[in-house]
Amino acid sequence: MEGTPAAFLVIGSGVAGLFAALELAAAGQRVLVLTRRAIDEGNSAYAQGGIATVWDPADTAAGHARDTLVAGAGLCDPAAVDLLVREGPDGVRAMIGLGARFDRDDDGNLLLTREGGHGCRRILHANGDATGRELERALVARVRQEPRIEVREGVTAFDLLRHEGRVTGARALDGDGRPLAFPADRILLASGGLAALFRDTTNPAVTVGDGIVMAWAAGAAVADLEFIQFHPTGLVIPGQPRHLLTEALRGEGAHLLSRSGDRFMPRHHPLAELAPRDIVARAELAEMQRTGDPFVLLDARHLGASFLAGRFPGLEAMLGRFGLSLARDPIPVAPAAHYTIGGVLTDLAGRTTVPGLYAAGEVACTGVHGANRLASNSLLECLVFGRRAAHAMLEDSIRSQKGTASASATGSPLPETGAGLTAPPAGDPDRHEVGSGPRAPGWRILRDPDRHDVGRAPLPPRMAVRNARFAHRQGADRQEVADPPLPPGMKPLNLSITDGQGTDGPGFTWMPARFPPGDPGEFLDRLLGVFRTGPGLDEAMGKLEPSLTTVTVPLGEATPDRVARRQRTVAAALLARFAHARRESRGAHFREDFPAPDPAWQFRQVLTGTTLSRWPGSVE
């Protein structure tokens, strides 16, 4: 069955996709938006903390860029970072013009807070702890008023149509599992990341890498997928998913404690709780391994009940359902898969390596995050690069109508980006079978990763020996270690709460992850979580690599179950492929057998088909 033809098709209804759709509509174009759920249930709505940009006169774009580069651990593209910090304020102003309401003081000035990795207070927030939801609300309201934008809800796109080397549409399933085809001249992927592949995740269940798999299967290059950011403060309640507790809590002064009440972060980093997320997550796990506990405690009680109720109303309401309160209780938390740093390789205008295909938001990899995303840069990325992708789609459409091919359509290097970013083609672009094509100039093929072996360096003392019992029992149901006595005044936690499904506000339903036999979620936490090992990555590759050779779902067999299995398995295999190859620890990728960064590995990995290539990372 053929769906509505569209000149411009947007897949995904988060901030990047809707912002781009409005930009296209403002230019007089008709746009079709496909979304798996209701339009107001995009993944962006789960972003609590805020949006980072320079507003304080004492702050500078250079300072924001510096903090981003430091967090990125040497792999950021400086040109992408420069665009992010320079164009970010205009994106926020555009959102204010669209009706987004950020928190302000009594004089009408925007309120700012600080989060981990930032050198000053530059985080804008809305409704205390519901920034993503407020941006989504404003965008959805405007999209619903825009006659040039058609939204199809309950449609799951799972494959891209191609003809003569370019993307010409998308295949999808409707809510009843019936196949649809949507012809389109230009397609923007804005479908989010893949963190919901993991059992312990802050993401809704649908964020399993659909867009990344679709693009890769169509021959597009994907990059940096070994870097999965684990948020340090996912709520630990038995039988419940890992509700996110925003980093803004630590930005406002909350502390991380061991079960005995010891504040441990100052031992791990000079910034303590405000260290970059990868450092905080590893420090938490090291503490959990030392004590045998399945969580650490987030303590905000000293901030005061009135402040917490006004600043974090959503969190207080959510915690109240479990009998907890920030003002009264230390909250049990542990790391949870949160953000996909890599994704579909694009230039700085959202163009992928396949003509007609664009990407923006978490599904894309512009190089702005490097090896580790700086807190609250994600919503900013959606605005900056969502707008740039829309403008590139318009520009390329005009060039095509005039008979002048765009840069990406001619196969010449993608504009406005680091040297050598154009990926080699992967076999016949009109087929889904993977293969390797000729290399672009300046690329090296990683056929023998052992040549980068730098030996087994000693592990840091606190990470030298992992608690064997804990390593395979990270779930919140583990209760085999006796609780140590709590310090005076610290209330014991009720860890027997299992009140069924949780919710996160109107229209947001969370369910604990339950994976069928053979699903990669059964072993991803163990093999590709915060800590990775050589044998674990070998095991992951053994389980998943075969799925990288057969990715087509025949038209007559495209059922929801089969499509879901294919998407999840291929996305997990791509993640494993990247992590297995990188033989060092950098940013959000930590290997116990190679626990230090290695200058020889300061490059980004790019996969096209089954060919893994590299280009030099930042030298900042």
**In sequence order, what are the beta bridge partners of 153?**
35
Element (H, E) at 124: strand 123-124
Catalytic residue flag (residue 277)? yes
How many helices (DSSP H) and strands (DSSP E) are in the chain? 15, 22
Residue of 375, 428, 487 whose CA lies nearest to 122: 375
Q: Which residues contact 141 (CB under 8 A, 6 or more apart)?
A: 99
Calculate ∠ Cα 473-533-564, nearest 5°. Answer: 70
Burial class (CB in 10 A: 0-12, 13-18, 19+), 450: exposed
Bridge partners of 257, per DSSP, are 263, 297
Q: Which one-letter amino acid corresponds to residue 256?
A: L
Q: What is the DSSP string of 135-190?
A: HHHHHHHHHHH-TTEEEEES-EEEEEEEETTEEEEEEEE-TTS-EEEEEEEEEEE-
Give residue 544's Cα distance to chain centre: 21
CA dihedral of 63, 66, 67, 68, whole degrees rounded to 10: 120
Q: Do 188 and 9 contact (CB within 8 A), yes or no? A: yes
DSSP 279: H
Alpha-carbon gap, residue 597 to 582, rounded angstroms: 10
How far is it, in rounded angstroms, from Cα 467 to Cα 290?
7
Cβ atoms of residues 246 and 235 within 8 Å: no
- Residues near 482 by beta carbon (within 8 Å), at least 6 away in sequence: none
Strand ranges of the sheet holding 331-340, from the earlier edge strand across to the other edge: 228-235, 331-340, 296-299, 255-257
1 SS3 class: coil
Tokens of 552: 């087509």
Closest CA relative to residue 361, chosen from 231, 191, 153? 191
* Nearest Cα to Cα of residue 123 among 75, 156, 171, 88: 88
| Residue of 277, 282, 351, 387 marked catalytic | 277
Cβ–Cβ under 8 Å, residues 402 and 414: no
DSSP helix/strand/coil, 267: helix
Residue with tokens 């999209």: 143
Q: Is 483 helix (H, G, I), strand (E, B) or coil?
A: coil
d(CA 91, CA 421): 26
> Are 193 and 571 contacting, i.e. CB atoms less than 8 angstroms apart?
no
Helix (H) or strand (E) holding 365: strand 364-365
Residues known to be catalytic = 277
